[in-house]
Structure 1
């Protein structure tokens, strides 16, 4: 896997976001971000390297408040800010050397996969979009998560979130909770497949600097977020990859969103939320590369051929 990349920064809001730029050879660029609380290295390395090996440039970034990006307080996930970070990242990618602004695609998984619907709907310049195991319906995912959690732990998580939100209003630092855990522990997610996160994204502790925790106040915004509703307004080709046993983001709402998108394509595969990073990695990569080639390279070539010469 190619790891020839360089660090770049771009302004978003009142701070800077950090990103890895993988120079490509075919003029197309894939803009990428990890899931909720997941930084760019564990969240994108496995796919970014493969896309880059196939000739695509990649811009993989950290949202503000996370990883190497700026922003205080730390470890806070704010949906509107992350959506704004996407727009800033797209603008950055369009200006990269060797990148054709007409050949831009976006890629995200889990919470970021949900962002893909809204970002694509609001960004007509995009040539393609990939939502991998997206959280398309936060309330549905939250209701399902409650089935895999104990009532006392749910109450403690809610109470911690309220205290953290109140503390935020007073300028206090965030109260952190783990991204995942076993039922009975206070964590963002305790679904059966959530425990695969470290094995899938951080094998052998490859990324020891990744803080696998999130501000408890962030749970409210994530739980009420329903980005799949934007699917009918996505005009570019949209690939939605779902895993049928996904208990964290749920396959049903994501598949329904794919069917509502005018140019939606649905790929289903067995397994849980993190299967595309585990045993299903090759299948996921090949499906996504095939999609990117068709819509960023082959379609562009056909369009160029059809343009009459003066």
Structure 2
């Protein structure tokens, strides 16, 4: 079945974000975004089409300064801004035609999968949330990733981060760091499973416009971010999907976070970080569709905490 989609734009603060709107038929809507430095097409299309074929409306968007969205300087990925963009996308999704505002879900993976914990914890509008192979503990993931990098390359990366941070203060263009590289090269990730990222997200260079790099100044915040701490405050149903051999985001912190969330469902599958985009895709997408059907389509408006007037406290 051919999936129809159209380009949409919405405001996040003073920046315009651009997304794909896949109109659905069942009233439910899934807001989707890619991982750190990953634009909407490679990051969401494989899952978005399956969700849409099942009747769900999908809003898949680019964060500010990435892809088709506005904002400068380009390729600078700031966590606070990206969390705000995801929250703005949820608000916008509630206004899309045919969408029941009581049937909204968010979906993201990798570092953005970590954002799901934070956004779901502070957004009573959400009926469900899916964190796929989320990076729930940046420091733990960074320590693990260091095992797969060579000391000289780590020093060169640190130098580039410092130079780019200073350049940012002076208004200079960003110094970029590739998202993935082999050990010994300057890259954000050199873990063995990260090397399958292009195969998983960009097979046959399907998305040639995707710039697979971020500003070096973006790296420190990503390595220190610990979104798993928000899990206990997530009141909506939360699906956490982990891959047991994940060397890039790590399964254990995500499993622990799921254990703290009141309504979490944990799905474990074998494989590395990108397995849900590779051989494990059917297992992953079927688990996520089952979750969405149960918590969006079987949900009544009276179940919504915003409708009932119950708003959970905003985390510090």
Q: Which TM-score tier does this pair reach, normalised by the shorter chain? A: over 0.9
Answering whether residue 146 of structure 2 is matched by residue 146 of structure 1, we say: yes
Cα distance between partner residues in 2 of 1:281 and 1:302: 34
Which residues of 2 match residues 1-310 of structure 1 at below 5 A? 2-300=2-300
Mapped contact 2:120–2:236 kept (Cα < 8 A): yes
Cα distance between partner residues in 2 of 1:207 and 1:166: 32
Residue by residue over 1:71-98, the C-alpha shift from the partner in whole angstroms, topping out at 9 and shown as x without a partner, is 0000111000001101110111000010
Cα distance between partner residues in 1 of 2:299 and 2:39: 32
Mapped contact 1:39–1:62 kept (Cα < 8 A): yes
- 3-state SS of the aligned residue for 1:74? coil
- 3-state SS of the aligned residue for 2:187? coil
Query: Across the two proteins, how many residue pairs are aligned to each other?
Result: 304
CA positional deviation for 1:15: 1.2
Cα distance between partner residues in 1 of 2:2 and 2:49: 5
Cα distance between partner residues in 2 of 1:275 and 1:255: 17
CA positional deviation for 1:302: 9.7
CA positional deviation for 1:300: 2.9
- Structure 2, unmatched stretches of 5+, are 305-316
Structural RMSD (CA): 1.2
Mapped contact 2:87–2:119 kept (Cα < 8 A): yes
Cα distance between partner residues in 2 of 1:140 and 1:219: 15
Cα distance between partner residues in 2 of 1:248 and 1:181: 13
Cα distance between partner residues in 2 of 1:140 and 1:272: 16
CA positional deviation for 1:258: 0.5
Cα distance between partner residues in 2 of 1:242 and 1:65: 29
Q: 1:88 to 1:303 in 2, by over 3 A?
A: closer
Mapped contact 1:26–1:56 kept (Cα < 8 A): yes
Mapped contact 1:2–1:50 kept (Cα < 8 A): no
CA positional deviation for 1:191: 0.4
Cα distance between partner residues in 1 of 2:52 and 2:2: 7
TM-score scaled by structure 2? Answer: 0.95
CA positional deviation for 1:303: 6.2
- 3-state SS of the aligned residue for 1:9? strand
Mapped contact 1:2–1:52 kept (Cα < 8 A): no
Mapped contact 1:193–1:273 kept (Cα < 8 A): yes
Cα distance between partner residues in 2 of 1:59 and 1:303: 23
- 3-state SS of the aligned residue for 2:214? strand
Mapped contact 1:107–1:113 kept (Cα < 8 A): yes
